[in-house]
Amino acid sequence: MDVNNKDLGTSLRTHTCGQLGESDVGRKVTLCGWVDGHRDLGGLIFIDLRDRWGVTQIAFDPEEVSDEYMELARSVRYEYSIRVSGEVRLRPEDMENRQMITGKIEIRADSIEILNRSETPPFLVEDDTAASEELRLKYRYLDLRRPWLMRKLEIRHQATRAVREYLDSRGFVEIETPLLIRSTPEGARDYVVPSREQKGKFYALPQSPQLLKQILMVSGFDRYYQLARCLRDEDLRADRQPEHTQIDLEMSYVNQDDVFEVVEGMMKHLFKKVLDDDIEAPFARFTYKEVMDKYGIDKPDLRFGLQITDLSDIFTNSKFKVFSEALSKGGVIRGIRYKGGADISRKRIDDLTEIAKSRGAKGLAYLLKRDGEIKSPIAKFLSEDEISRALEKAAVETGDGLLIVADAWKTACDSLGALRAKLGEELSETAPMKWAFLWVCEFPLFEYNPDLSRFDAMHNIVTSPHNEDNELLDAGAKSELPPSDPEHPWARIRGNQYDLVLNGIEIASGGIRIHNRKIQEKVLSILGIDEERADRMFGFLLEALEYGAPPHGGIAPGFDRIVALMTDSESIRDVIAFPKTTAAQSLMDGAPTEIDQAQLDELGLMIREKKKK
RNA sequence: GGGGUCGUAGUUCAGUUUGGUUAGAACGCCUGCCUGUCACGCAGGAGGUCGAGAGUUCGAGUCUCUUCGGCCCCGCCA
């Protein structure tokens, strides 16, 4: 990283704690920082002084320092904020510390000033902290003093710069969109803000600047981007926070390839600039159908191969009822090779079965190919020919197992996808490439929601259908097929929708948008949003589309997730300065809190009693 | 909304299975000694409403119920 280490002197210091080396020997310096450690040897006193740039050892020698300063040096404790002046000198021979960047030198102190004492910290500020995350979040300012965490935010800063640099170079304009907007019918629950001027009315905080960036295309900016804060009131996960940052961008007169080219260039630049890693582009492209069939998930981790094999054709005439019935109901039979899994235990089988069942599968069948025999509770229901063809098709060798799911297509995909993830994680001997990017495109535009008996947008209500599928919009309205049928015209419409996946994490989602009012209205009506409601919530966009809106599309890479991957972080909390807990609370400041009655009155709000169970 | 898991000294944990004397360890903290340490060392010391509340019991850190909080997952979310 190109941290500029020069000219960081201030009125209180001449240098930083990570800066001095052999070439500075003899120099008179003053450093400021926190006490990272202190060793009182009775005569000599050593203090390790830490700031953002590093740690430097300060030595206090009673022969050279006044009693008054020795006494002060003796009194310092962890995290005291101090200022020290002295001369840089080489450490005595054999006293170097190879673990420290500044380990060849030390400061022979002349004087010390305590700028601010510290309470005994609730945990030691060190990279290998034992403190719980709960405690670290409460004392986030101490947690952030840890170099490990500070580096991550520095990398985030570098990433921000690299993104801006690249998009600027490609003709994008950074435009801020409002945080107080109207509630629009997008997927997630809105955070809302009451209006004082208009009592009883509410702003919503943006789930994303989606509609506004489309309006900017109508305005003619042609290429827009923003490091945009997005807020969603939904349950949290390791990779989800109530507010997150997207590299939101939109372009006019483009198709999917144009967007891919820009994003691939951006990723190359980003990874090169920040990590000095070379990314191969263009990225692999798959259709939704392909990744689901091969990997059982729409965001596969391609650092390992391990594909799912379709075995349906082998069992078309099977006497095994579980298989034949699954097929006759329009389902599939699929399997995945479990390398080296021929001798797994009963317990292990149960665990794997549990994984399959948790994703909706009714059960998990298996064939274990041992030396000279096949071990399987279902072998007696299958013909030898069926078994050997299945093993061969799935490339199962002696010593391996074959895990089989017979179920509806989606269920089979989900459960085998989960098994694949589990096996891939465990059999990590497949030398993983570091960064496995891929595009997933041609998502279905709609997904039937059996609970609500209606179609939902698979991604985004403004995504345009494939041109060739436009006629299906009308065909669906007249279709005799039940909406739950996968052959229903609306279920067959492919959307101009794409995701970018990195190492099994979805890091971006985008699409080519609808720029024609008529088509947008049709899509909204399929989603069960009638004209009146569409007009009310959405009218401003529909109207804007009528003034020569250009064809346009874009994408929104999730910045926190990308930085989390770049910094090898388990959770995006590690790359956000002040994150919230999984219950959406901020342990440091206590948000959310109740507010004063006066504030409620001013807003015309009344709090209802909590319902008792 | 559902499932899992955790909550004991300032901190990280042991103790909970099978209820029973004064709840332990390490690090940190305090005091003293120590002139080349860098996980400094040595000697001594302080520190606990066992997350909270209720119950069972002669007796609860330990059993039951309720509740609060952290983390992970499903639903939800792009």
Nearest nt (C1') to A610 (CA)?
A: B67
Answer for the pair A138, A117: CB distance below 8 angstroms, yes or no. no
CA of A36 to C1' of B25 (A): 25
The answer on pLDDT for A612 being more than 50 is: no
Tell me the average pLDDT of chain A.
91
C-alpha pair distances (Å), A514 with each of A251, A465, A498, A523:
13, 8, 15, 9
SS3 track for A332-389: EEEEEEECCCCCCCHHHHHHHHHHHHHCCCCCCEEEEEECCEEECCCHHHCCHHHHHH
Q: If you average pLDDT over residues A186-207, what whole number do you get?
A: 92
Nearest nt (C1') to A236 (CA)?
A: B77
Nearest nt (C1') to A457 (CA)?
A: B78
The answer on pLDDT for A555 being more than 60 is: yes
CA of A606 to C1' of B31 (A): 58
Nearest nt (C1') to A121 (CA)?
A: B10
CA of A140 to C1' of B3 (A): 30
CB atoms closer than 10 angstroms to residue A48 = 20
CA of A191 to C1' of B77 (A): 13
**pLDDT tens string A586-603:** 999 988 988 899 999 999
Q: Rounded to an integer, what distance in angstroms lies between the CA atom of residue A283 and that of residue A290? A: 15
Query: What pLDDT, on a 0 to 100 scale, did the predictor assign at position A196?
Result: 95
pLDDT band of A1, cuts 50, 70, 90: very low
What single-letter DSSP state applies at residue A606?
Answer: -
> Per mean pLDDT, which of A78-92, A126-140, A464-478 is the most reliable?
A78-92
The answer on pLDDT for A42 being more than 70 is: yes
Buried b (16+ CB within 10 A) or exposed e, A375-411: ebeebeebeeebbeebbeebebeeebbbbbbbbbbbb
The answer on pLDDT for A94 being more than 90 is: no
pLDDT band of A347, cuts 50, 70, 90: confident
Nearest nt (C1') to A92 (CA)?
A: B36
What is the spatial order of strands in the sheet that A243-252 belongs to? A173-174, A223-231, A243-252, A552-557, A505-512, A497-502, A437-441, A284-287
Provide the H-helix boundaries in A394-516.
409-426, 470-478, 489-492
Contacts made by residues A92-98, CB under 8 angstroms, sequence distance 24+: A97/A57
Query: What pLDDT, on a 0 to 100 scale, did the predictor assign at position A186?
Result: 66
**pLDDT tens string A428-442:** 655 567 899 999 999
CA of A143 to C1' of B42 (A): 33
pTM of the model: 0.93
What single-letter DSSP state applies at residue A282?
Answer: S
Query: What pLDDT, on a 0 to 100 scale, did the predictor assign at position A139?
Result: 94
Query: What pLDDT, on a 0 to 100 scale, did the predictor assign at position A2?
Result: 42
CA of A418 to C1' of B15 (A): 38
CA of A225 to C1' of B78 (A): 18
The interface predicted TM-score (ipTM) is 0.91
Residue nearest to nucleotide B78 (CA to C1'): A509
- For residue A444, give every residue at least 6 positions away whose Cβ sits within 8 Å of its Cβ, in sequence order, or none: A288, A458, A491, A492, A493, A494, A495
How do beta strands A105-116 and A54-60 pair?
parallel
Query: What pLDDT, on a 0 to 100 scale, did the predictor assign at position A341?
Result: 87
Bases along strand B below 7 A from a protein CB = 1, 10-13, 27-30, 33-41, 67, 69-78
pLDDT band of A425, cuts 50, 70, 90: confident
Cα A424–Cα A429–Cα A432 angle in degrees, nearest 5 = 75
Query: What pLDDT, on a 0 to 100 scale, did the predictor assign at position A431?
Result: 54
**pLDDT tens string A99-120:** 999 999 999 999 999 999 999 9
The answer on pLDDT for A444 being more than 80 is: yes
CA of A131 to C1' of B22 (A): 30
Could you tell me what percent of chain A has a pLDDT over 70? 97
CA of A351 to C1' of B2 (A): 20
**pLDDT tens string A398-423:** 999 999 999 988 889 999 998 998 88
CA of A597 to C1' of B7 (A): 34
Query: What pLDDT, on a 0 to 100 scale, did the predictor assign at position A477?
Result: 85
Cα A505–Cα A508–Cα A510 angle in degrees, nearest 5 = 140
Look at the block and give the residue holding tokens 């003899």: A26
Q: Rounded to an integer, what distance in angstroms lies between the CA atom of residue A33 and that of residue A112? A: 12
Query: What pLDDT, on a 0 to 100 scale, did the predictor assign at position A432?
Result: 64
The answer on pLDDT for A169 being more than 60 is: yes
Closest Cα to residue A218, out of A454, A549, A493, A575? A549
C-alpha pair distances (Å), A509 with each of A218, A247, A309, A506:
21, 11, 28, 8
Query: What pLDDT, on a 0 to 100 scale, did the predictor assign at position A106?
Result: 97
Nearest nt (C1') to A77 (CA)?
A: B29
How do beta strands A437-441 and A54-60 pair?
unpaired
Question: A433 is written with which tokens?
Answer: 């490439």
Nearest nt (C1') to A232 (CA)?
A: B77
How do beta strands A365-370 and A373-375 pair?
antiparallel
**pLDDT tens string A294-344:** 999 999 999 888 899 999 999 988 899 999 989 988 889 999 999 888 888
pLDDT band of A547, cuts 50, 70, 90: very high
A87 phi/psi in degrees, rounded to 5: -115, 135
Beta partners for residue A86, in sequence order: A29, A109
Residue nearest to nucleotide B41 (CA to C1'): A41
Query: What pLDDT, on a 0 to 100 scale, did the predictor assign at position A358?
Result: 80
Could you tell me what percent of chain A has a pLDDT over 90? 73
Q: If you average pLDDT over residues A162-166, what whole number do you get?
A: 98
Q: Rounded to an integer, what distance in angstroms lies between the CA atom of residue A603 and that of residue A51? A: 45
What single-letter DSSP state applies at residue A240?
Answer: B
Closest Cα to residue A155, out of A6, A273, A280, A8? A273
Q: Rounded to an integer, what distance in angstroms lies between the CA atom of residue A72 and that of residue A86? A: 15
The answer on pLDDT for A359 being more than 90 is: no
CA of A602 to C1' of B42 (A): 66
Mean pLDDT is lowest, of A154-158, A388-392, A486-490, A543-547, for A486-490
Letter for the amino acid at A172?
F
CA of A449 to C1' of B5 (A): 32
Nearest nt (C1') to A580 (CA)?
A: B70
Residue nearest to nucleotide B11 (CA to C1'): A123
Nearest nt (C1') to A506 (CA)?
A: B78
pLDDT band of A354, cuts 50, 70, 90: confident
Q: How many helices and strands (H and E) does chain A possess? A: 17, 22
A286 phi/psi in degrees, rounded to 5: -130, 155
Query: What pLDDT, on a 0 to 100 scale, did the predictor assign at position A453?
Result: 77
CB atoms closer than 10 angstroms to residue A196 = 11
**pLDDT tens string A6-34:** 689 999 999 999 999 999 999 999 999 99
Look at the block and give the residue holding tokens 């005291």: A80
Residue nearest to nucleotide B33 (CA to C1'): A42
The answer on pLDDT for A610 being more than 70 is: no
Query: What pLDDT, on a 0 to 100 scale, did the predictor assign at position A53?
Result: 95
Query: What pLDDT, on a 0 to 100 scale, did the predictor assign at position A9?
Result: 93
Q: Rounded to an integer, what distance in angstroms lies between the CA atom of residue A13 and that of residue A270? A: 34
